[in-house]
Amino acid sequence: MQKKLLTVAVATALAAPGAALAQSSVEVYGFVNASLGLVKYTSGTLATVPSISKWDVASHASNYGLRSRESLGGGLTGWFQIEQNAPLERSNDASATPASRNSAVGLQGGFGNVFIGQWTTPWADLDSLWSVGTVGGWGPVTSIIGRRETTGQAPNPNCVNGHGLGVAPTATGVTSPVCNAVESAGGVGHPFWRRTSQSVFYQSPVMGGVQVKLSAQAPEGKAAAGIVTAGVTSVSANPWMWSSSVQWAGMGGRARVGVGFDSHKDFSAIGKSDTGFRVVGGFNFGVVDVGAAFEGMKYNTTLSGTVKARQYGVAVGVPIGSGAVRGSYAVAKDLDGAGLAKDTGAKTYNIGYEHRFSKRTTVGAGYAAIKNEASAIFAWTGLPPTSNGVTNGPLAGQDVSTFFVNIIHRF
């Protein structure tokens, strides 16, 4: 009853007088996932980077949103979803915007599901098939697997480089000599694991346990050459990307496997495409659920030619009563490319227990660590500032670990 009243209240607040929203079946939903942990950074590659330990409250992709479905007859359904982040930390940051997460409008029927907006890519959707070892937000999917790029990057070849590929120590932290094109304000899209905006998506019906997913980003960043702005001359470019996956589940969902392929055009070098391939899967034996993933990316850059990245990981979940012991291990190999910094790989592992009090509330505890090589800066999303009190996540060569307790509540 309370949830129904909350739904009506939110829908009424968002609707203009006389709008039809309040008359529709609009659902309020959400996911709150937060941890309290003791985080430790070891000393970094530079002599000026000492070790430090600190307490932190981390929010792991907490979100809330509105969604609605309407039957249009003939087996056709119209739907929408608007979802945004629910940051539980760093509350002085007032930059959160509506529809910052999976938000779209679409039509679904016997042909499948077609929608436009912003959504996780088919590549990223495969993570659910294998990542059974994550406790709270601590696992390889939020640190190493798919994480060669930083978040919030948009394909704009006429802006300053912002990729986190091939880092090398400097007096102030790290530099990135690999890609030479792309950070801008607005839009997300380049990271293989990330959701894409201004995109069209298709999800096929599930047939024999098989489902195909496709997405394509509209090339709204297409640019003409020769336009001078603030002393910078633009170049001709047409940056856009597409993502695809095929997944299968059988034996009541116990067996699952998925394959993904992405192509990102004009992101790292004009006239070339970055590509990625991954295969993931798992099997639930009853007494233990196991998962595994492998992925490889190829970046065609201007400065370093072809740069190759490889990551792999394994995960386990062992049910115990109303909870489970969960653990993961993953490796990012050194980047392979001309003129890159050495020692750009990392390893991560986590172990913990989570207890499910109900379908909505879970409490967990555990330990997680990332071992960065001398030129690597892998981290989990949402880490506190490092030794310098400013930079979020580790500086070059800093290992990071945390003992944590975690609470998840779904509504």
CA-based nearest residue to 151, from 85, 107, 203, 77? 85
Is residue 13 domain-resident?
no
Range of 132's domain? 33-410
Is residue 22 domain-resident?
no
Name the residue type at position 312. Answer: Y
Is residue 368 domain-resident?
yes
Is residue 352 domain-resident?
yes
Is residue 14 domain-resident?
no
- Say how many residues make up the chain: 411
Q: Is 171 exposed, middle or buried (0-12, 13-18, 19+ CB in 10 A)?
A: exposed
Cα 257 to Cα 45, 130, 278, 289, 291: the distances in Å are 39, 8, 11, 14, 9
pLDDT score, position 87: 80
Is residue 157 domain-resident?
yes
Q: CA 206 to CA 86: how far, in whole Å?
A: 32
Name the residue type at position 141. Answer: V
Residue 16 CA neighbour count, 13 Å, CB half? 1
pLDDT score, position 303: 64
Is residue 154 domain-resident?
yes
Is residue 150 domain-resident?
yes
pLDDT score, position 116: 97
Please count the structural domains in the chain. 1
Q: Enter the tokens of residue 50.
A: 């000492």
Q: Enter the tokens of residue 200.
A: 């069209």
pLDDT score, position 308: 86
Which ranges of 15-129 does DSSP label H, i.e. alpha helix?
122-125
b/e map of 259-282 (b: 16 or more CB within 10 Å)? ebebebbbbbbbebbbbbebbbbb
Q: CA 10 to CA 82: how far, in whole Å?
A: 13
Contacts of 56 (CB under 8 A, 6+ apart): 36, 37, 38, 39, 89, 383, 384, 402
Left (φ > 0), alpha (ψ -120 to 50) or beta: where does 391 sit? Answer: beta
pTM of the complete model: 0.83
pLDDT score, position 362: 97
Q: CA 171 to CA 396: how far, in whole Å?
A: 11
CATH number reported for the structural domain that contains residue 50 in this entry? 2.40.160.10
Cα 362 to Cα 13, 196, 328, 357, 410: the distances in Å are 31, 30, 19, 6, 9
Q: Enter the tokens of residue 381.
A: 């999303």
Give the pLDDT of the chain (411 residues) as one tens digit per residue. 444 444 444 444 444 444 444 445 899 999 999 999 999 999 988 878 899 999 999 988 899 999 999 999 999 999 999 999 888 765 545 555 678 889 999 999 999 999 999 999 999 999 999 999 999 999 998 788 876 554 434 443 433 333 333 333 333 333 333 233 333 222 233 567 678 888 999 999 999 999 999 999 998 878 888 887 666 677 787 888 899 999 999 999 999 999 999 998 887 777 888 899 999 999 999 999 999 999 998 887 766 678 888 999 999 999 999 999 999 999 999 888 877 778 888 999 999 999 999 999 999 999 999 999 998 888 887 788 888 888 888 888 999 999 999 999 999
Name the residue type at position 264. Answer: H
Q: Enter the tokens of residue 400.
A: 């990071």
